[in-house]
Amino acid sequence: MLQISSKTQKRAVLVIFPKNNLNALPFFDLEEKRSIQQMLNDGSKIIPVNKLHKLYILFAMDVPKDIDKYELQEKFRIQGHSIYKVCKEYKETELSLEIMGEYDKSMLESLLLGINLSDYEFLKYRTKAKEYHLTVHVDPILLDKSSVEEINLLTESVHITKDLVNEPVSYLTAVQYSKDMAKIAKSAGFSLTVWDHKKIVQEKMGGLLAVNSGSSAPATFNILEYKPAKHKNKKPLVLVGKGVVYDTGGLSLKPTKSSMDMMKSDMAGSAAVVGAMYAIAKAKLPYHIVGLIPAVENRPGYEAVCPGDVITMYDGTTVEVMNTDAEGRLILADALHYAKRLKPELVLDFATLTGSAVRAIGREASVIMGTADKEYKKKLRKAAMSTGERTVEFPFWDEYGDYLRSDVADLKNLGPMDAGSITAGKFLEHFIDYPWMHFDIAGTAFVPAQYNYRGKWATGYGVRLLFKFVQNQCKDNPEKSKS
């Protein structure tokens, strides 16, 4: 984490200097500067120099004018990760900061965020592993207190999301998930209402019940609400998250190995909603937000839904279930139907929904689509690009909707092999009557191996994007409403 402390000098010092001004480095003699220059010429940007009682980590800050600002910020976050790795390699737990010459504040923030986000490991079940953490001491002269606090808050929130996603289902059942949400809600200052199995049956949430029917553990439906006294939006922003605590595929069982191994992460969309609401509430952003999280387990138990069954959804639509592994859309549809009563300004759903999204663009961006107007799409894109949580919008023509026609029921839950992430989105569209965007985060939410500052396993995708979007909305929205 970052700590605000003035005039602290630790053994390890991150020295940031302008790339073309080595003279700014006071700690080195001429010969040393020559070697440093050579390394810079060879393309190194981060140069560790272990000198008697000091470890200098030299970082040449280069801010070319012709590069897109957001792309550059992403590069700085990645370089932050490289700096973190040097500290870890040298077992340094404290790092102080020296900046020589001029620097760009937003690039410094990106660098520090990259360092901070890297400081995560999921060690809960490693009985012998030793924790390592890095504290970076930042002089308030270099960066305002509020920036430092925001970086720490975002990091903490991303880590909350990562912890939830990394938890195996042996711990994180739907009921346990609701208990964890309650703790998080309490500490951040938003409310949580949990619908248990009995209430879900009473309400006739047919999608949720169908998906959970093969599991011996009960499902929950979670309603999170953050409504500060003064908020800038007249109608709430609703965030919906897929909360499949484990996806075996159900009776349409996934093959073991590769395709099932990581399916504890099938609740990553909902965990992003939890992490984002934590950050937004802690930062006291003046925005009214409701989170909706259907939490279920998709298993092939005795009572499991069979391929060919017809189910009746929360809104009364009948669905022919052709493949029980296309379960995410069934639970999201019920949550999207619930959202209608909130008369939202905008609904965003986050879901590890399709392998098709991963095959199309891999882990580098999420696939998005929806009915929100151009203005919202522009704002969402800005939040995505500025945080490095990239998105690519897919086409959403009406024709794709025809792929889901069923002769037996109103809809089927499975389209043809082609355009799988789009037909999944089209299924969801059937259940909305408000501006909406769908984020398929199957490729971005969980990675099997280290992926720069995002780490390995859960990446916490979505938390920073949502925080940034809401923060920008608060800045852009002049009118205030009270209720």
Please report, as ranges, the residues that interact with Zn ion according to CB under 5 A. 244, 247, 266, 325, 327-328
Residues 6+ apart with CB under 8 A from 425: 369, 370, 394, 396, 438, 440
Query: Among ligand BES, Zn ion, none, what does residue 281 contact (CB within 5–8 Å per kind)?
Result: none
Binding mask 228-267 for ligand BES (x = CB under 6 A): -------------------x------------------x-
Q: What share of the chain is helix, strand, coil (3-state, %, to 5)?
A: 40, 20, 40
Query: Is residue 252 a contact partner of residue 183, using CB atoms and an 8 Å limit?
Result: no
Rounded to 10 degrees, the C-alpha dihedral 208/213/215/218 comes to 50
H/E element, 310: strand 310-312
Under the binding rule (CB under 6 A), the answer on residue 328 touching ligand BES is yes
Terminal CA-to-CA distance of the chain, rounded, Å? 37
Is 379 a residue of the active site?
no
168/163 Cα distance (integer angstroms):
10
Applying CB under 6 A, does 444 fall inside the site for ligand BES? no
Cβ atoms 18, 61 nearer than 8 A: yes
Rg (CA), the chain: 24
Whether residue 254 lies in the annotated active site: yes
# of chain residues touching ligand BES (CB under 6 A): 16
Q: CA of 221: how far to CAs of 173, 194, 218, 437, in Å? A: 13, 6, 10, 21
Question: Which of the ranges 36-44, 92-100, 149-157, 324-332 carries the binding residues for ligand BES, by CB under 6 A?
Answer: 324-332
Determine which residue in the list 106, 191, 323, 406 makes contact with ligand BES, applying CB under 6 A: 323
d(CA 394, CA 59): 39
Give the binding range for ligand BES (CB under 6 A) out of 27-35, 94-102, 127-135, 350-358.
350-358
CA distances from 422 to 207, 369, 394 (A): 20, 8, 7
CB 406 → ligand BES: shortest distance, Å? 14
349 binds ligand BES (CB under 6 A): no
Shortest spacing between CB 426 and Zn ion, in angstroms? 17
Contact 379, 469 (CB under 8 A): yes
Give least dist CB 254 to ligand BES, A.
7
Q: How far is the CB of 140 from ligand BES (least distance, A)?
A: 42
Q: Which of 420, 425, 455, 462 binds ligand BES (CB under 6 A)?
A: 420
C-beta closer to ligand BES: residue 150 or 327: 327
Residue by residue, what is the 3-state secondary structure of 421-462? HHHHHHHHHCCCCCCEEEEECCCCCEECCCCHHHCCEECCCC
Picked from ligand BES, Zn ion, none, the partner binding residue 420 (CB below 5 to 8 A depending on kind) is ligand BES
Of the pair 355, 435, the CB lying nearest Zn ion is at 355
Nearer of residues 344 and 462 to Zn ion, judged by Cβ = 462
**Of residues 92 and 320, the one with the C-beta less far from ligand BES:** 320
Residue type, 209: L
Is 355 near ligand BES (CB under 6 A)? yes
Q: Closer to ligand BES by CB, 207 or 344: give it.
A: 207
Between 266 and 315, name the residue whose CB sits nearer to Zn ion.
266
Q: Which of 69, 85, 227, 254 is catalytic?
A: 254
Choice among 10, 162, 299, 329 that is catalytic: 329
Query: Is the Cβ–Cβ distance between 16 and 47 less than 8 Å?
Result: no
The only residue of 442, 463, 465, 470 in contact with ligand BES, by rule CB under 6 A: 442
Is 247 or 315 the residue whose CB approaches ligand BES more closely?
247
Given 358, 363, 433, 451, the residue binding ligand BES (CB under 6 A)? 358
Segment holding 240, helix H or strand E: strand 237-241
Give the catalytic positions in this structure: 254, 329
